[in-house]
Every structure is written in C-alpha cells, then in structure tokens.
A and B are shown apart, each in its own frame.
Chain A
Amino acid sequence: MSGATADPRLAAARAVPKKRMRLSWSDPALRGIVWQVVIVALVVLGIWWLVSNTRHNLEVRRIATGFGFLWREAGLPIGEHLIDYSPTDTYFRALLVGVLNTLRVAIVGIVLATILGTLIGVARLSKNWLLAKLSAVYVEVLRDLPLLLQLLFWYAMLQGLPGPRQALHPAEGVYLSNRGLKLPGLVWEPAHGWALAAFLIGLVATYFYRRSALAKQMADGRPRPVWPAALGFLVVLPVAVWAALGAPWTVDWPALRGFNIQGGLTLSPEYFALLLGLVLYTAAFIAEIVRSGIMAVQLGQWEAAQALGLRPGQVLRRIVLPQALRVIIPPMTSQYLNLTKNSSLAVAIGYQDIVSIANTTLNQTGQAIEGVAIIMGVYLTISLSISLFMNWYNKRIALVER
C-alpha cells in the first residue's frame, strides 16, 4: 500500500477519476448549485426589502433610532424584583429586573417540571393499575388544553382565595390568600453566606472524593461508600461554619398588620399561577418523553444485567439510564426551550417578565424596534445557552453505533 513501491503507471490506473461537471439540468451537482444560488438571492432580497422599508417608515414618522433611551428614568412600577428597584431607576435596570423575573420562573419551572414529569412518566409505566391510569389521564388532560387557558384558570383560582384577613392558615407562619403565598423567611446575615460558600466547596470536595473512591475501587476492587464523606462535606461542614460565626437565626414571621400580611417571603399570585401552569403543562410532555425513553430500553437489557447478578439499582444506574437518557435528552431540550419561551404568556396574568416590561418600555418610549430586538435578544441568549448545555451533555452520553 505504501507509495514508494508503486509503479507510476499502476498508481495512475488506481487514481480516482476526476468528476467533470456537465452543463446539463440532469446533473445533480449543477442543480444543487443553482438552487443554492436562488435561495441565497431570495434571502438577501427579503432582508434588503425589510431594512429599506423600515428605514423609510421611520423617516416618515420621524422616529429616532438607538438605545439611548435605556439610560432614561423608567418611571414604571414593578411589583416583584430580585434586585433593588424603584420607578426612578433607568429603563435598563427595569429590563434587567424583567430578565431576572423570566429566569426566576424558567429555572425553577424547568427543575420542578423535570422532577414532576419524571415521576409521572415512571408512574404511567407502573404495574399499579390506578397509578398508571391516573398518570395517563393527567398527561392527556394537561397536554390537550392550551397553556394560556390553564394559566388563566390557575390565576382565577388563586384570585378566588379569601382576602388577607381570612387567609388560609394551615401552619404557623404560612398564609395563603388572594395576595399570594406568605412563608416565614430567614433574615440573611453574612454567616449564612459563608455557610452557603462552605456548602459549595463541600459539593466540589464530594465530587473529587467520589472520583478518588472510584479510582481506588478500580485498583483493588473494594467499594468505598461515598455517603459518609458527602454527609460531612455537605451538612457538617456548612453547619460548623455557621455555628462558628455565632449561629445567627432570626426568622421573619409573616403576620397580619392592618389590611395585609406583612413580613416573610412572598410568592405573588401571578408568579405562583405562572409557575404552576408552566410546570403542570410541561410535566405532561416530559412524562411522555421519560416514558418513551425507558420503553426504548429493551426488557432483555434488564434480564441480561440481572442474570449477571447486578442489583436493580445497579441495573438502573449502569444499564438502563445511560440508554434511556440518550433517547430522552434531545426532546427534553425542546421542552426546556418551550417552557422558557412559554413564560412570556406571563403578560396575560400580569406577571412582570421581560416581555411585559419591554412592552411597557416600548409603549412609553415609542422605541418599538429596539424593544422587540431586546426581547428577541434575551430569549435567543437564554435558549442558545440551554441548547449549548444540553447538546454538550447529549454528546457526552452519545452511543457509538455501527
């Protein structure tokens, strides 16, 4: 096979004949090129038309373009904000509050929908007839009704709750009224921050401990339990740090003062309804994805692993999950993106997410193009981040096939 030994005539005979382009419509290569040129031309034409049309209209209406308005005072009240905000702040800060509000509902929603969806998906495969049928009914009802309708339903339900004075009071410090859910809150002090930092360090330490325990098992075969170390790193260490700093513990109890319940943590009815609606709706889809993923792993895989003496937990961890996840991850990514984008329906029930705030900004300033561009930019950034992460994860667990 080496080139040095080859007789030049033989080498020439073996060379792949060069493909020549024929100038004929029956040549697939030529057809391909023509179609690509046509499509690119159409796209460029379309963009040119959109831009020139917009510029013309802006000129006629004498609207100045640019993002200078972002630094003007917003004068727009926002009920829920994770960072300090008052109406005298800039539009930029208002929009930032909106982005954080969107992220707050999207991230919590994705985590909860994944947990609930997985439980329902597994329950639908259960041998328990009632459990399986209940899960099936859940999935069919929740995914067949429009999300907007469900959001309005949950919001109306929460509005139907009694007022603060007659609030439902199931446990000490917990109040449920039409003003939302009130929970006791911890007064945050530096010691808590340090404890949290210790927890995060413990998380990293646990990861490395687990890696080294596994490496040692591979060396001598003896399995080493990880949980005692995990308990130490994740519970004992943060608690010790917190105790060393004086163990501050002040609880902010909500209580009825005047016409409203004051203090504590608040989940507004808007946030609560939006979260509830998104989680319940998306969980129905995730349940089906999880079910299909588990069903995609043949029964023979369970049997072969069990016949080798693996315990059910080991079968799940080492055989079934790696194969199921590879089926589950791609559609799961789509559901995460759907949940994030569906959070823009917040507008309908008055939760101030990025769409709601950008919309108000757009109305007050008249900067429609910039406002819409900001909304698009925010969703594109969030969505691409989710996609990138999920694609990276998917690649990690991808299966080598023939």
Chain B
Amino acid sequence: MSDTIEAGHGVASAARKDAPPAIILDKVNKWYGTMHVLRDVSLEIAQGERVVVCGPSGSGKSTTIRCINRLETHQEGRIVVDGIELSDDLRSLDAIRREVGMVFQSFNLFPHLTILENCTLAPIWVRKMPKAEAEALAMDYLRRVKIPEQAGKYPGQLSGGQQQRVAIARALCMKPKIMLFDEPTSALDPEMIKEVLDTMVGLAETGMTMICVTHEMGFARQVADRVVFMDRGEVVEQGPPDSLFENPRTERLKTFLSQILRGH
C-alpha cells in the first residue's frame, strides 16, 4: 500500500451536516453510446466534507466528478451543486464553474502563459478582478503551495510536482467553494507525490469541500471523512476510511484492496 503520507494524526473533520449539502447526485446515469458508464449513482456531500473516490480503472470515478462541473453531461438523474441544478442553461453552468475548482491528472497548465498568468487568467477574465489585485492573490496562493519564486517562469520549465502545485494554486485563485481532484498524483514520479499530497492536506485543513479521485490510501486515511468505492459505474460501498479498508463487506472491494496492496 502506498503510504507516502504516514497515517499519523488525521485532519479534523470540517463537515457541516446541518448546512444544506454542497453536492447532491441523485440517481445519475450516463452512457457512452451503448456503454452504460454510470448506473444510478447517488451521493450527497456535505459542506466541508472530504470524500475520496476509489475503484479500478473504468469504474466511472473520474466520469462522476467530471459530471459535477459538467465537463461531461449526464443523461438521467439530477446533479445539484451549491444549490444550483445542472442543466443546459449557460448561466447556471457559468455559476457552477466559478464555484468548483478542478485539478487534473495531467496538470493542464497553459504552456504559453507564465505561472503567474496561469493563475491570474480566470480571476481577471471571469471574476473581472483588477490585474494588480489578481496578481497579489495569485502570489499569495503560490506562496501557500511554496513556489512563489517560480511565478515568472513558464510551465515547461517546472517539474511535474511543481506544475501540479501551480494547478492547485490556479484553481484556488478563483476562490472556489468545492475542489475536485482527478487522480492528481497518478502522473507524478514517486518523489514528487508527497509534495502534492502535502499541499492537499494543507488545503483540507482550511475546511475546503474536497472530492478526490485517488489511490493514495495514506492520504485517504489521514484526510477523508468518507471513502466511496466505485466499480463498473456503481457506488458499491462507502464509509469512513478505517472501517472501509479494514472490514470490506463486499467481494468486489476485497478484490480491489488486495490488488492495490499487491501493486505496491
């Protein structure tokens, strides 16, 4: 098992069960052609809750979180984000994307812009922020992810781990209420995984609502309020990380856990 982060002190839960939920997925179904990739996926995520989604490849976990900011469209069911129902209405789409930040497996920094410009682009053009203010904000977040000295460089000049930290800072510059992580460490060399996970733990400590697709079980144990296990487009099992990993109830989760144990 990958224990890049020692299962030491956990991050105290910030989930607010009393407040209205941050995200509701209600019987969401999706097909690619005839392939049924999401089957009746229902999830409710509280404000400040941190959820880790895991499962074998092709289980629909990435598709699920990509539906939340509508990079993918679902065909049946409802998705409500921050009180706004996802629909074809462009205004609701704009509103949701402003509140939901996303970090990708392959970083997807804009190679023709400097690190600082990567971070200020959306605040300036989407939030209509003055440039000086956006730059101050960006520098603040670049300091938090510990790379302010790289601000003038271009993404191609940074290591993978640095690029992913910039991607996190870029998303945070929009001051989102919810952060989505789509396998943020899968494309990284082992020695760079820790710096990115540390950044994410730091973010968790601020009480951000986070959904994270990852196989980093150490991270899940330390940070997650809940782990959701998906297989073949379905939510198979969910619960607090310790009980889920120690006492898997379903055969599918047992198989998955034994596979990732063998893999590491």
Contact = CB atoms under 8 A, between A and B. Distances in A.
B126 A307 contact: no
Given A218-B130, A220-B130, A323 B112 contact: yes
Contact of B110 (A217, A222, A301, A311): A301
Nearest to A402: B156
Interface in B76-100: 94, 97-98, 100
B102 A307 contact: yes
A84 interface: no
A306 B154 CA distance: 21
Interface string B133-145: 1000000000000
Contacts of A306: 71, 97
A219 B110 contact: no
A306 B72 CA distance: 12
Given A300-B106, A303-B108, A304-B110, A309 B130 contact: no
A307 B97 contact: yes
Contacts of B167: 304
Contacts, number: 84
A303 B106 CA distance: 11
A221 B129 contact: yes
B129 A300 contact: no
A400 B110 contact: no
| Dominant secondary structure at the A interface | helix
A304 B104 contact: yes
Nearest to A303: B71
Contacts of B97: 306-309
A314 B94 CA distance: 13
Given A219-B130, A323-B111, A310 B71 contact: no
Contacts of B170: 308
Interface in B94-129: 94, 97-98, 100-102, 104, 106, 108-112, 121-122, 124-129
A301 B124 contact: no
A218 B126 contact: no
Contacts of A400: 154, 156-157
A325 to B, nearest CB: 10
A72 interface: no
Given A221-B133, A319-B110, A399-B111, A308 B122 contact: yes
Contact of B156 (A223, A318, A401): A401
A245 to B, nearest CB: 43
Nearest to A304: B108
B126 A399 contact: no
Nearest to B170: A308
A173 interface: no
Contacts of B131: 218-219, 221
A307 B124 CA distance: 15
B69 interface: yes
A309 B94 contact: yes
Contacts of A218: 124, 130-132
A26 B144 CA distance: 56
Contacts of B121: 308, 310, 318
A402 B157 contact: yes
A310 B126 CA distance: 6
B211 interface: no
Interface string A297-335: 010110111111111001000110011001000000000
Interface centre among A222, A303, A308, A400 (most CB of B within 10 A): A308
Contact of A300 (B94, B100, B104, B157): B104
Interface string A188-232: 000000000000000000000000000001111111000000000
B171 interface: yes
A375 B54 CA distance: 70
B204 interface: no
Contacts of B112: 322-323, 326, 399
Contacts of A318: 121, 125
A309 B71 contact: no
A159 B197 CA distance: 73
B200 interface: no
B174 interface: yes
Contacts of A323: 110-112
Contacts of B100: 307
A400 B154 CA distance: 7
Given A318-B121, A399-B111, A222 B128 contact: yes
B97 to A, nearest CB: 4
Given A218-B131, A219-B130, A301 B108 contact: yes
Interface centre among A303, A307, A311, A326 (most CB of B within 10 A): A307
Interface centre among B97, B112, B130, B170 (most CB of A within 10 A): B112
Nearest to A222: B128
Contact of B98 (A222, A309, A326): A309
Interface of B: 69, 71, 94, 97-98, 100-102, 104, 106, 108-112, 121-122, 124-133, 154, 156-157, 167, 170-171, 174
Top 6 closest pairs, chain A to chain B, by CB: A304-B108, A308-B122, A218-B131, A300-B108, A307-B102, A309-B97
Interface of A: 217-223, 298, 300-301, 303-311, 314, 318-319, 322-323, 326, 399-402
27 contacts: A217-B128, A218-B124, A218-B132, A221-B124, A221-B127, A298-B108, A301-B110, A303-B104, A303-B108, A304-B104, A304-B110, A306-B71, A306-B97, A307-B71, A307-B97, A308-B122, A308-B126, A309-B98, A309-B174, A310-B126, A318-B125, A323-B112, A326-B112, A399-B112, A400-B154, A400-B156, A402-B157
